[in-house]
Structure 1
Amino acid sequence: MIRNYITTAVRNILKYKGYSVINVIGLAIGLAGCVLMLLYVQYEFSYDGYHEKKDRIYRLENHSEMSGIARKVAISPAPWGPALLNDYPGIEAMARVKLAMGRHTIQHGDKAFYGEAVVYADSTLFEIFTFPLVRGNPRTALAAPFTAVVSESFAKEHFGGTDPIGLSMNIPGFYSVTVTGVMSDVPLNSHVRFDYLTSYATWTSLGWGGPETFQRKGLNSEVRTFLLLREGYPVRDLEAQLPLFIEKYLGDRLRSSGIRVNPVLRPIEDIHLYCRDVQWSSGLVNSEGGDIRFIYIAVSVAAFILVIACINFINLTTARAARRAREVSMRKILGSRRIHVVFQFIGETVLLSLFALALAVALLHVLVPTFNELFGTGITMVLSLELALMLTGMVLLTGMLAGIYPAFVLSSFRPTDLLRGPMKTGTARLISRRVLVVFQFSIAIIMISGIGVISDQIVFMQNKDPGFDAEGVVVVALPRGEDAMQKYDVFKANALSYPDVLAVSQFAHLPESLPTGGVRPPDVPEDQLTHFQMIHGGYDLHKAMGFEVVQGRYFSRDRSTDANACVINETAVRALGWNDSVGKSLISPYSQELTVIGVIRDFHTRSFHHATEPIWIGPPDQRGQAAHIVIKLRAQNVAGALGILKDQWREIYPDQPEMEHLFLSNLMEDQYRGDRLLGTIFTAGTLVSILIACLGLLGLSAFMVQSRIKEVGVRKVLGASVGQVVILLYREFTLYVLIAWVVGVPLIYYMADVWLRDFAYRVEPNPWTFVLTGVVVMLITWFTVGFQTVKAAETNPVEVLRG
């Protein structure tokens, strides 16, 4: 029986080659696109899933509120972790990870190279996370001060074939560390990634941050704290104790300061996708946070692609139902039951799906590497049991969904119907097919309109004035060391001697990673602090960054009183409720009373997802906090100026690696990388959907034209022109598009409005976007069905009527 089903299925597939090819190609593209999206979703959900103890690992976050302004950060005060470990036996281990400010130069022998920002970690990190060491003891590798663990890639790149254990790495002007371990490279799907770790004991022994006590640092969030709970210990029990923990150590201080603190335990597997509103959550070095919204969109795109492919399959299969009515009737006359006919046609669709799967797998082997290269992912096409089951289930589901409806339609024909005359498609079946076509067009309209809205918002954000001039501004890591600032002064003086260098300054933090602190006027109680972003920079920072002073002035070297002065932005003035701010005083986050000497125009340090925040610029030349050199170059000769600066760099910093720079404009644009990724995924999914829909329209239009070919012949005999016949055949598809536009536009308008609510600064959906979408879909439809339509209109009516 099964052999007969397969033989008959192959015979029918070969008999209707055109439809079969369109069905296979359409399904193959749909399966490949759908599986690619699902592989991406699977990859995103796999973040941090490789840790053996992942179910018991939590990150301790600090969610606070100050003067009505809520703030969520992924870091917490350094004393919290050890105190929790001491007070609650349900915690098995604790590890703190601290990211040092700025990049550092690393020397080994006569080699010097840039390392990413130094990461300090407790020795218990390897007890909590699955970062296997290929050399060294994970329990002791980071136990002592001035020890370090490097990755295999780092060791290979910088130490060659030499065993790195016991070798020394020097950070000029600071300290040397001894390599005590080599760990496997951190996987791409990790929210924490780094090339080397220095022991946390190194940080504390240097004493740079002072004693890590609750009195001194109980409210200063500066480390990532990870907790490993004991087996069977409910996290809810620990969460219930956290308010009591805060009251025990910080209760009096919080009541006097007016700050509300809410510690939050974040499961490690939730960090990558569910922390969009948590600052500094994207990990450590070389890591970026994900967004669960992108997952929802990727799943939606996958579903749209598969639905369109299934609709095509259903429509094309039912469209040729009448041609196979004689075959079905003969089978039933010869004794076949309805269930046998159903199995026959479902078998055909499943067999076509298997052919499509083979082609889809071939397409995926091309698409997956391209996707990884474009988006920096680590998706693989290894046919694991899990992936094989997913593909098999998808093929069977697609084949059955596509085959069940036409199978029941065909098997419902009565043999006597055929004896009375040609089979006619019932009204209900015509309506069903038209509904499916309209639904398909509606999806296309939603997706194309979505591209338009996303593109408008991205263009708006890229073109919106951020409040400073990033054009021609480059950022260079400031070398560290005892004489680093003296050499910086020489570098700055030499650089400014060239006409293409307009300004040189230094600052502590890049705009997107500014620290925050509480600021208040002297006459305001300590429990009414205002939340400010803090900037520490040089005297000429406003020239290098293009800050516009709207009141008062900026800092000046000629005024010694500026050592006790500050500059604020317009939002800060409004937040403080001031009219005339120049000359007034503020208590800084460091409890220093400063005089406001100027107000600068608002500028954006973060993406336009966020509103402008109050900004406080502290006294310049606090040199211990400098980490970056910022240089303003003449836009007309950026390349030439950079060449000169690199030559100067070699002379002034002979023991440093070659000068590496970043363009500030690129750093700011990187804040929209996720939005561009969203746009790219949506665009790719839309193009795939349109391609599949066009293939379906091509096959469906061929059937519909063929079914009306005699009508066309009669009309031409009665004098209808080719143009009139074309309009007649276009009319039905044009009506489908118009109905789909009416259905799809309200849906996409609502969806666009929901997406745009995430932006503090946004565009309004442009009505012309939806009009243009309707025109585009109409033109695509006309173009797709045009060949069959014109061919039918030009057919000799005599031949048609004679046939």
Structure 2
Amino acid sequence: MLKNYLIVAFRNLWKNKGFSAINIAGLAVGLATCLLILFFVLDELGYDRYNEKADRIYRVDADLRFGGNHFVLAVDPDPMGPTLKKDYPEVEQYVRFRGYWNSFLVRKDNQNIQENNVIYADSTLFDVFTLPMIQGDPKTALVAPSSVVITESVARRYFNTDQAVGRVLTVNDSVPYKVTGVIRDMPTQSHFHFDIFISMASNPDSRQNIWVSNNYNTYIVLRKGADPKRLDAQFDGLVDRYLMPQAAQILNISADAFRKQGNFAHYMLTPLTSIHLHSNKTAELGANGDIQYIYIFSAAALFILLIACVNFMNLSTARSAGRAKEVGVRKTLGSLRQNLIGQFLTESILVSLMSLVLAMLLVELALGSFNHLAGKDMQLHLLDRPGLIGVLLGIALVVGLLAGAYPAFYLSSFRPIKVLKGVLSTGFRTGWLRSTLVVFQFSISIFLIVGTVVIYNQLQFIRHKDVGFNREQVLIVSNTQVLGKQATVFRNELLRLGGVEDVTVTGYLPTSSNRDDNPLFQDATLDPKKAISLQIWGVDEHYIPTLGMRMSEGRNFSSQFPTDSIGIIVNEAAVRLLGTTRPLDKNLYALRDFRGGNAPGNVQTLHIIGVVKDFNFNSLREVVTPLALYVGSAPGGVAIRMHTNDLPGLLDRVRNLWTSMAPSQPFSYSFMDDDFNRIYASEQRMGGIALFFASLAIFVACLGLFGLVTYAAEQRTKEVGIRKVLGASVANIVTLLSRDFLGLVVVSLLIAFPLAWWAMHHWLEDFAYHVSIGWWVFAASGAMALLIALGTVSFQAIKAALANPVKSLRTE
């Protein structure tokens, strides 16, 4: 019986090659899209699961409020890890990371190579994370000061072998680190990626029992069976026991008074496997994903697959008139309905399997481009994933049954007497289910069109928004701290180059990750009630003009005013937080001297000399926060304002100047506009993926619309013939066949528009600064959908209108 089903199925598919090709292509595109999204989702969900203890590893995060500012951090105090292990028996082990914004320069021969993926780590690193070691002892590798563990790639880069234990890395021209371990390169699916781990004992900022500073990423391993919620509930007690006494001593205030003023310090556990998709806190160890995109793309995959199945149903029922007599003859000759259902389901599953094979080929062809678009490195490798093969076959079987169920039961229900008499009431106007499915298809497509337009507009808004500084034609040279006192000389020599307008020397730039958050007080008694928390950056007098910032009040720093050594410039957000309309000449007070480190027992007086207009130094997802600038040395970078038509030539001259002053140091540079765009690389990628999926959805939906037009044309062949004989023009026939379908698209617009507005409004709320969804977005999206539908409908309608009426009427 099955053999007969297959033979008949192949005959029917070959007989109707056009319909078969459309059917297979539509399902193949739907399946290929579903598979691409499936690979993407599995890749995103698989982050950090390579760790053997992944289900027991948690990161300790901070939720702080002080001085009018609220901070959600991925870092905490340096004693947090040791204290948790000492005081809480459910904590099995901990490890801390300490990163610095400046890169490390590692000596190779006579040159230094810039290494950015460097971190300080506790010796317990390998007790927490699964990082297979090629050479060395994981228990002792990071115990001794000046010891370092490197990846196999770094070992080969510097020593031409992965057997590098005992060798020495020279860092920043003078510091020798002994290689005590070589590990495998870190997996791609990790929320952090480091190539060099330096022992925490070498940390120059090593502190002991300082609870009021948050600079360490702390991870803990809970013992088997331990309840993380129970530990979470005990953090408030830990804060009262350790952090609040230190805060009270510094601020001269009790813990109760501290809290009554609206301040708080909370710590909580974040599961390791949730970090990549659910965490976007300050001081993350790397760029994370977003669970919202997983939901969006998973829904898109499901919808596109459903659209493809709907197409199959529409195209199958479009052939119902052609196969009605076949069904009538089969039933007359004794075929049972279940046999007919079996025949049609066999055809459906066969089409689904053929579509799966084509889909795999499409995925193989598209995976490289999709990887580039999504920033991934996914591979198909089906032979290495037998479980996935079974899943794919199961999907093909389910899709075949789902897509073929309605046509099978519908076609097998035809009554042979009516069919053989030519009485078959299957006109378009009675096909409410097919019409509903087309509305469903185009509602999804229009939803995706609106979403793509809004995402594109937001990305363009980000690209062109006035962020308070001019990022165009600004060259940034990094790691200028290696110049030491020669940084000023480097600046002066740069100004001699043609095309250079101005230069500022500072490591604090709006597009960098360098930040320094500190409290300032409005009176010399350091009353916490009058404290404000803000960024405090050391800059020079050329900072504001070089970056094209604008003053709101007061003046810029100037070497002609010696008192500027205690002067500061605040932004408008800081003025709002101060609650004053006359900020100039107001004094603020600090716990430390920012120019010379800590000054225990002393209070540093700072005098406001100017107010700079707000500029964005965080993502546009966040509002501009308070900031103060002071004249100080922070030579981590040099920003060069240029005006030249010969950018390559100027870049060569800057490189030559650098080489003459720092011959053994790498010339590391970037352009500020590129750095700005990298902040939104994730949004750019997701926008591209959304456009890709929207295009596929529209393509597959158009196939469904084509199926319905074909169905209607077949059902009304004789009507069209009679109308033409009676004098109807081609335009009349096209209008007749098109208006009902365009009506369905209009209904789809009415359904999709409010849903799209709600979803995109919710997405835009994640940005502090965003576009509004204007009426023109819906007008443009609707016009696009109508034009696409009209083009699809007109093609088949014109074909039907141009057909010779003699052929359709000669049997009447």
TM-score by structure 2 length?
0.93
Output the CA distance in 1 between the equivalents of 2:795 and 2:668: 57
1:97 aligns with 2:97: yes
Moved more, 357-366 or 393-402: 393-402
Give the drift of 1:234.
1.6
Give the drift of 1:94.
0.9
Output the CA distance in 2 between the equivalents of 1:393 and 1:727: 43
| Alignment correspondent of 2:598 | none
Closer/same/farther in 2, CA of residues 128 and 377 from structure 1, 3 Å limit: same
Give the drift of 1:799.
3.2
SS at match of 2:640: strand
Give the drift of 1:527.
4.4
8 Å CA contact 1:56–1:229 kept in 2: the answer is yes
Give the drift of 1:478.
2.2
Give the drift of 1:97.
0.5
8 Å CA contact 1:273–1:291 kept in 2: the answer is yes
| Alignment correspondent of 2:792 | 784
Output the CA distance in 1 between the equivalents of 2:695 and 2:531: 52
Amino acid at match of 1:460: F
Which of 242, 250, 257 aligns to 1:249? It is: 242
Give 1:528-567 correspondences, 5 Å limit. 528-567=530-569
CA-based RMSD of the aligned residues comes to 2.0
Amino acid at match of 1:371: F
Closer/same/farther in 2, CA of residues 317 and 168 from structure 1, 3 Å limit: same
Amino acid at match of 2:242: Y
Output the CA distance in 2 between the equivalents of 1:790 and 1:685: 30
Closer/same/farther in 2, CA of residues 499 and 588 from structure 1, 3 Å limit: farther
Which of 605, 608, 631 aligns to 2:617? It is: 605
Give 1:32-431 correspondences, 5 Å limit. 32-116=32-116, 118-161=118-161, 163-172=163-172, 175-203=175-203, 208-209=204-205, 211-213=207-209, 217-252=210-245, 253=247, 255=255, 257-258=258-259, 259-276=263-280, 278-281=281-284, 283=285, 287-383=286-382, 384-425=385-426, 430-431=431-432
Amino acid at match of 1:800: S
SS at match of 1:357: helix
Divergent runs of 4+, >6 A: none
| Alignment correspondent of 1:491 | 490
Give 1:511-522 correspondences, 5 Å limit. 511=510, 512-513=512-513, 514-522=515-523
Which of 672, 682, 686 aligns to 2:694? It is: 686
Amino acid at match of 1:339: Q
8 Å CA contact 2:348–2:401 kept in 1: the answer is yes
Unaligned runs of 5+ in 1: none
Residues 706-764 of structure 1: per-residue CA shift (max 9 Å, x gap):
32221111111111112212221221222111121122112212222111111212221
Amino acid at match of 2:342: F
Give the drift of 1:618.
2.8
1:675 aligns with 2:702: no
Of all paired residues, the percent bearing the same amino acid is: 36
Residues 72-101 of structure 1: per-residue CA shift (max 9 Å, x gap):
010111111111111112111111111122
Moved more, 339-348 or 756-765: 339-348
Output the CA distance in 2 between the equivalents of 1:556 and 1:510: 20
Give 1:452-491 correspondences, 5 Å limit. 452-481=453-482, 484-491=483-490
8 Å CA contact 1:571–1:614 kept in 2: the answer is yes
Closer/same/farther in 2, CA of residues 150 and 480 from structure 1, 3 Å limit: farther
1:614 aligns with 2:610: no
Closer/same/farther in 2, CA of residues 46 and 429 from structure 1, 3 Å limit: farther
SS at match of 2:539: coil
Moved more, 748-757 or 648-657: 748-757
Output the CA distance in 2 between the equivalents of 1:339 and 1:799: 36
1:502 aligns with 2:501: yes
1:632 aligns with 2:641: yes
Which of 671, 675, 687 aligns to 1:663? It is: 671
Residues 204-248 of structure 1: per-residue CA shift (max 9 Å, x gap):
xxxx426322xxx31211110110111222212211221111111
Give the drift of 1:173.
5.1
Moved more, 526-535 or 147-156: 526-535
Give the drift of 1:695.
2.6
Output the CA distance in 2 between the equivalents of 1:588 and 1:392: 67
Give the drift of 1:470.
0.9
8 Å CA contact 2:311–2:704 kept in 1: the answer is yes
Amino acid at match of 1:442: S
Output the CA distance in 2 between the equivalents of 1:172 and 1:195: 16
1:650 aligns with 2:659: yes
Amino acid at match of 1:507: T
Closer/same/farther in 2, CA of residues 117 and 538 from structure 1, 3 Å limit: farther
1:764 aligns with 2:772: yes
Closer/same/farther in 2, CA of residues 377 and 246 from structure 1, 3 Å limit: same
Output the CA distance in 2 between the equivalents of 1:117 and 1:409: 62
| Alignment correspondent of 1:573 | 575
1:583 aligns with 2:585: yes
8 Å CA contact 1:607–1:668 kept in 2: the answer is no
Closer/same/farther in 2, CA of residues 746 and 162 from structure 1, 3 Å limit: closer
8 Å CA contact 1:172–1:480 kept in 2: the answer is no
Closer/same/farther in 2, CA of residues 224 and 710 from structure 1, 3 Å limit: same
Amino acid at match of 2:40: Y
Moved more, 64-73 or 709-718: 64-73
SS at match of 1:745: helix
Give the drift of 1:510.
4.2
Give the drift of 1:428.
8.6
Output the CA distance in 2 between the equivalents of 1:117 and 1:537: 26
| Alignment correspondent of 1:730 | 738
Output the CA distance in 1 between the equivalents of 2:283 and 2:777: 36
Residues 662-686 of structure 1: per-residue CA shift (max 9 Å, x gap):
1111111122222212211110001
Give the drift of 1:402.
0.5
- Equivalences, count: 785
SS at match of 1:271: helix
Closer/same/farther in 2, CA of residues 395 and 635 from structure 1, 3 Å limit: farther
Output the CA distance in 2 between the equivalents of 1:589 and 1:353: 71
Amino acid at match of 2:638: I
Output the CA distance in 1 between the equivalents of 2:43 and 2:264: 37
Give the drift of 1:419.
4.0
Amino acid at match of 1:240: A
Closer/same/farther in 2, CA of residues 793 and 737 from structure 1, 3 Å limit: same
8 Å CA contact 1:301–1:682 kept in 2: the answer is no
Moved more, 323-332 or 354-363: 323-332
SS at match of 1:467: coil
Which of 687, 697, 718 aligns to 2:705? It is: 697
Closer/same/farther in 2, CA of residues 706 and 419 from structure 1, 3 Å limit: closer
8 Å CA contact 1:104–1:480 kept in 2: the answer is no
Output the CA distance in 1 between the equivalents of 2:130 and 2:29: 38
Residues 576-608 of structure 1: per-residue CA shift (max 9 Å, x gap):
111111111112363522111111011001222
Closer/same/farther in 2, CA of residues 237 and 742 from structure 1, 3 Å limit: closer
Closer/same/farther in 2, CA of residues 331 and 517 from structure 1, 3 Å limit: farther
